[in-house]
Structures are given as structure tokens and as C-alpha cells.
Amino acid sequence: MLSLFARSALTTYRGFGPCSQTIVRAMSSSGGPTAPYTTLAISHPAQTITHVELHRPSKRNAMNKAFWSEMVDCFNEISGDPDCRVVVVSAAGKVFTAGIDLIDMAGDLLQPDGDDTARISWNLRKNITKYQNTFSVIERCPKPVVVAVHGACVGGGVDLITACDIRLCTQDAWFQVKEVDIGLAADVGTLQRLPKVIGSRSLVNDLALTARKMYADEALNSGLVSRVFADKEAMMASALEMAGEMAARSPVAVQGTKVNLIYSRDHSVAEGLDYMATWNMSMLQTADVMKSTQASMEKKSVKSIEFSKL
């Protein structure tokens, strides 16, 4: 499904115009991680867009101890940054991520502290909860997060991308809910979010119970990703254009939409409507409605409107 759209999309989004390729190339930071991070490179392809790049390419972006805590710091900062309106996540190197870095993490997972089974369990639960938070921060960040996947996206990588809002991938991407292969049930988000991200439960079960690979076409057909691109450059250009579209609109409207979409996922329709009304009773009083309406009536682009920071 969506295959028709994948093609037409390239002509729909034009936010950055001809110069976007230059921007995209600039994003492929060869300079390594951005201090204080050691696994992430942060850049700003536009004033209102933050690009978070998994940047440990020599280890196939395997998720080591540093990564699990840096993601939390990084997204907490983004959440509080009034300049940032949209986030793009991608990865440096040949693949998106090989998943958890078992060697670096083995201690936490395989040799946890504790004088007896109960105390080991207690500490394991603390760790799992901490790791779950690494991806839940993406969801709690009110700014839309577009993730762009190329090559392998394995294990923890699937946990990560299902916590993002919009998923794109290249033709060579593949996805694997790897956990049963190493003797455990996926515990940092995939089993909770994947079934709410794609429509076929038979497919979700197949992926999670057999650990088989899913390739780009099936990812598109199943709705896991919205679009597939010939190569990473094309994907990044489109990710940026899409980010540009969202960044150009009222942040009150866009971020309120994300907050309520996530609320609705976890509640009945009646509860979602009640929350929505309570949310918008103040948010409708933004100056952005007037600015946007006026621009709309004057047939001006949303991109011509200047919105206050949020």
C-alpha cells in the first residue's frame, strides 16, 4: 500500500527547493559525534529543524551504554528548545543500527547485581525501565519526529523507530525484531508499539515470533514506513522537505496534534474527545489561528507567516 504515493511525494513536497540537496549533503556530518555526546551527531539543517544522527558508524551504530543515556539527554534538550519545531532522526555509516551492543551491555543484562533472585530481578527491572525510557522520550517530545532508515534496522532499532511519528526508508532497508534470536522477549517498546503502528496483527506476530527480516517493499505495503526511496540522499531530501512542511505551520497546532494523537492511541474515543476539548479550550486562543486564517484567505503560503516560539 502507499506505493503510488511514494512516487508522487517527491513532487508534492517542495519546501526547500533546489538547494535541499546541498543541505542534505551538509547533514552527512563527517565530523563525528557532537559533544557532549559520543554516539549522536546533532545539527540544524534549518533554524526550526533538529537533525539527530546515530553516529557510531564503525560499530554499525550498535546501542552501547552511552547511547541509552545520551538519547534521553538529547531529547529532553530538544523538548525544551523553543527554536526546534521538528526532529529528523537518521544514522551515519552503512546501516541504521545493528541494535543493542551486546558486548557493552552484557553486564547490565547478563550479570546484574543482587544477592538473590529477587534482588537481581529488582535491579533488572530498574534497568529495563531505564532503557524503555530511552525511546519513550521520543514520544513524550511534543515535536514531530521523522525517522529515516537505510540498511539494517535490527532489534533495538525497531524499538526506536516505532516510537517516532513518521517512518521513511530506502530500498535497501530491512527490519528485524531480533530479540527471540537471543533468547528474550523484546522489552523496550517493540511489542507494545509495533501492533499499534501497523494494521496486520498476523504480520506483527510473524515478525516478533520468528525474527525474520522484513524488507522495504513489505515495510511499505504493511504501513510500517510511509515511503521508500531509491537511496539515502533522496530519502534525506524528502525527510527534510516533510520536516519543513511541519516546521512552517503553527507550533501550537502541530505539537498539540502530536500530543493528542498519542493520547488518543491509549484511550477510548470518548476519552480522547474530552481531553481534546480540554486541551483546545486554551490552545484555540493562540494568535496563530488568526495569522493562519488571514494568510489562508489572502492565499499566502503558511511559510510566509511568522509564529512566536513555543
- Active-site residues, by number, are 100, 156, 159, 179, 187
Q: What is the DSSP letter of 95?
A: S
Q: Is 211 helix (H, G, I), strand (E, B) or coil?
A: coil
Question: Nearest approach, Cβ of 35 to its own copies (angstroms)?
Answer: 26
Q: Cα(205)–Cα(195) distance, rounded to whole angstroms?
A: 9
Question: Nearest approach, Cβ of 87 to its own copies (angstroms)?
Answer: 12
Amino acid symbol at 51: H
* CA-based end-to-end distance of the chain: 36
Is residue 112 packed enough to be buried (19+ CB in 10 Å), middle (13-18) or exposed (0-12)?
middle
Question: Nearest approach, Cβ of 306 to its own copies (angstroms)?
Answer: 11
Question: Reduced to 3 DSSP states, what percent helix, strand and coil does the chain have, rounded to the nearest 5?
Answer: 55, 15, 30
Question: Nearest approach, Cβ of 34 to its own copies (angstroms)?
Answer: 26
- Cβ closer to its own copies: 41 or 100? 100
- Please, what is the angle between helix 190-197 and helix 201-210, to 10°? 150
Question: Nearest approach, Cβ of 243 to its own copies (angstroms)?
Answer: 10
Q: Cα(9)–Cα(14) distance, rounded to whole angstroms?
A: 9
Q: Which three cell numbers stand for residue 9?
A: 511525494
- Cβ closer to its own copies: 65 or 196? 196
- Cβ closer to its own copies: 47 or 200? 200
Amino acid symbol at 62: A
Do residues 274 and 308 make contact, with C-beta atoms less than 8 angstroms apart?
no
- Cβ closer to its own copies: 70 or 139? 139
- Cβ closer to its own copies: 33 or 256? 256
